[in-house]
Structure 1
Amino acid sequence: MGPDCQNAGVDDALTVLSREFEAVEGSFLLRLRADRVWDRAAFSRLERTMRMACGQYEGRDDLPRWMAEGFYEVSHFVAEWSGHPNFPRPQPAQYYQDCLGRLRDLADWFFRGWHAYQEPHVWRDL
């Protein structure tokens, strides 16, 4: 695969990440906030694109402001909103704990420029 194809994949993922952070129709954040639904597929999409961005920007100093704001907001908002006692949680409690821990880990990785896990580290799907 040539560099143009690789860049297209990164650009596509960053577009998805931007849409997730903007809480557009179908995004995890919109479903969470407006519908009070933890959409597992939407969370996975958000988490994968955040992870891709972390890898893409690892060790770099030129973090786009929109991304920094999104990582910060997601790492705080999701825990606060879904932590409300009336928020429906049909999955086992461990699932939500793992997801919130992952969002914190990804924000930490994004802002520090490296993750805290020893390589080789496999980010398992949640």
Structure 2
Amino acid sequence: MEAALKTLEHEFHSEPGSFLLGLRCDLVWDRDAFSRLEKAMRAVCEHLKGAEHLPRWLAEGYYQVATEVPSWTAHPNFPRPEPEDYYASCIERLTDLADWFFRGWHAYLEPHVWTEL
């Protein structure tokens, strides 16, 4: 859990090498960086499911990712070297993770296996 929180802190502060910094400033979708972000978000959701109180910095980060990544990548000039369905799946995953984070449960029937993106 500690590693996931460190990853999210790195990401949510858009530190050098983060997915969010590369996406916003360089218009680069780094698959490996996205994977690290997504896995950390899942781990934190799993750990905090059902929690009554959520740290504000995490809530702000999940909200930012779920709202800003889709708008940044929707621009017609955003480079998309991967198939379009890959980006759609990633955006859906970020939305699903934010939903899970804020509700304390995900919308999938158990047992649910989160596929790698």
For normalisation by structure 1, the TM-score amounts to 0.92
**5+ long unaligned stretches in structure 2:** none
Match of 2:50 in 1: 59
SS class of match (2:28): coil
Deviation of the 1:25 alpha carbon = 0.3
Question: Among 67, 70, 77, which residue is 2:61 paired with?
Answer: 70
Counterpart in the other structure of 1:41: 32
Matched, 1:15 2:6: yes
| Structure 2 equivalent of residue 111 of structure 1 | 102
Q: Deviations over 1:80-115 (max 9, x none)?
A: 001100000000000000000000000000000000
The whole-number CA distance in structure 1 between the counterparts of 2:52 and 2:32 is: 31
Alignment partners' CA distance in 1, 2:94 and 2:3: 21
1:27 corresponds in structure 2 to: 18
The 2-side partners of 1:85 and 1:91 are apart by: 15
Measured after TM superposition, the shift of residue 12 of structure 1 is 1.7
5+ unaligned residues in a row in structure 1: which ranges?
Answer: 1-9
Supply the RMSD in Å over aligned alpha carbons.
0.5
Q: How many residues get paired?
A: 117
After superposition, the C-alpha distances for 1:34-72 in whole angstroms (9 at most, x for unaligned) are: 110000000000000000010010000110000000000
Choose which of 76, 91, 99 in structure 1 pairs with 2:90.
99
Tell me, what secondary structure is at the counterpart of 1:88?
Answer: coil
Q: Distance in 1 between matches of 2:22 and 2:107?
A: 30
